[in-house]
Amino acid sequence: MVVKINENYLKLKSSYLFVEVARREAEFIKQNPDANVIKMGIGDVTKPLVPSVVKAFSEAVEEMGNADTFMGYGPEQGYEFLAQAIKDDYKKYGVDIDTSEVFISDGAKCDTGNIQEIFGIDNKIAVTDPVYTVYVDTNVMAGRTGEMKDGVYEGLTYLKCNAENAFIPELPSEPVDIIYLCYPNNPTGTTLTKDQLKVFVDYAKENKAIILFDAAYEAFINEDNVPHSIYEIEGAKEVAIEFKSFSKTAGFTGTRCAYTVVPKQLVGYDSEGGEVEINPLWSRRQTTKFNGVSYPVQKAAEATYSEEGQKEIRQVIDYYMANAKIIRESLSDIGLEVYGGISSPYIWVKTPNNMDSWAFFDLLLNEANVIGTPGSGFGPSGEGYLRLTAFNTLENTKEAMDRISKLEF
């Protein structure tokens, strides 16, 4: 007998992207030790937690250090106080959810990655292309795909998004059961209007499909007709799970807190065609495999909803979005085609002269000492694009744009 591994892991290809970015960066720094390299590739925030969050966080830590207020295991699905604050926040968008539909977790990455576990292995999956690779890789790991060929996994449906279709994915041309949508989008930074999203909700209703809607960048929305929640679309509660996170909204990338909304109306089907509620399945999964987010972190997350907290996190988001505007305008001024960056911290740049993504990456690194992320790493339709992020400092963003503006393409 020998230990057999899960061979689906051997099909995975996409860790290549960030490994290769890091390798080229390290090589460049080795050759040019004095270069001031500006990193605009990473999707991590740079501003610290806001004061109201820090206050709530440290007060909760004090409580944990006092015998009278100490807390042990909390509810796996999260504390009611935070679920209630989340429920109240949804009211801003006219959405009514129940606290029992909210599952607090340590990240939208884990949730979007783990959710597929509660669905059958033979479901057909659709993702947009380019895509946040977690959706793809977790389905590869589970065995819902074949091998990767020509940059795509067999058995997966890719919904192309590029400048030709204004980054609006078309409905799948073959039957699918589960559709991952992420809006505002990572990596393209583009959005869907309510009407555009409704097309997918209607499709899901007609085809008994489920939409997994990742709204991790919801807080960056600056356009009136862009929905903050998929549940703003009529009927979406019957067909969609929504993922949200405090990571980009409130600088929690290192603090870890997110949540998933699984409406009570949402159903899937057993092998006999009988309806099965999804909410209890996710609850069972979480209560079995997850032991909840720490009390201080949940108190910190709750503080983001206070009046002061809202004001403070808005200021931070505005800071990043001012960077996004600078990037958009500077690159447009030199004749580059740019997308996103209006309701998103990501700017998706078309490479000049039909350069491929890696060639443009190398050019920016070598000539401007600026690091982006090659679009081709997010899927075949990302070829010919490069992602820049607005999460750097204002000074670095300006400096990077000055350097790029001096280049000749």
Choose between 182 and 386: whose C-beta lies nearer to ligand PLP: 182
Q: What is the DSSP letter of 274?
A: -
Choose between 247 and 369: whose C-beta lies nearer to ligand PLP: 247
- Return the residues of window 210-249 that contact ligand PLP according to CB under 6 A: 214, 216, 245, 247
Instruction: Could you list the beta-strand ranges (E) of 246-366.
Output: 258-261, 267-269, 275-277, 338-340, 346-350
For residues 96 and 109, what is the distance between their CA atoms, to the nearest angstrom? 25
- Decide if residue 108 touches ligand PLP (CB under 6 A): yes
Work out which of 39, 109, 328, 387 binds ligand PLP, going by CB under 6 A. Answer: 109
Please tell me the count of residues contacting ligand PLP according to CB under 6 A: 14
Stretch that binds ligand PLP, among 108-116, 152-160, 191-199, 224-232 (CB under 6 A): 108-116
The CB density around residue 408, as the number of other CB atoms within 10 Å, is 6
Render the burial of 211-247: b for 16+ CB within 10 Å, e for the rest: bbbbbbbbbbbbeeebbbbbbbbeebbebbbbbbbbb
Work out which of 102, 182, 336, 347 binds ligand PLP, going by CB under 6 A. Answer: 182
Q: Where are the alpha helices (DSSP H) in 176-235?
A: 194-207
- Decide if residue 95 touches ligand PLP (CB under 6 A): no
3-state secondary structure of 260: strand
Diameter of the chain by CA atoms?
Answer: 67
Burial class (CB in 10 A: 0-12, 13-18, 19+), 54: middle
Among the listed residues 4, 321, 302, the one whose alpha carbon sits nearest the alpha carbon of residue 184? 321
- Return the residues of window 26-55 that contact ligand PLP according to CB under 6 A: 43
Contact string (CB under 6 A) for ligand PLP, positions 329-368, x = contact: ----------------------------------------
For residues 403 and 400, what is the distance between their CA atoms, to the nearest angstrom? 5
Stretch that binds ligand PLP, among 91-99, 102-110, 159-167, 191-199 (CB under 6 A): 102-110
What's the closest the beta carbon of residue 217 comes to ligand PLP, in angstroms? 7
What's the closest the beta carbon of residue 299 comes to ligand PLP, in angstroms? 18
- Return the residues of window 238-297 that contact ligand PLP according to CB under 6 A: 245, 247, 253, 258
Query: Which residues here bind ligand PLP, judged by CB under 6 A?
Result: 43, 107-109, 112, 132, 182, 186, 214, 216, 245, 247, 253, 258
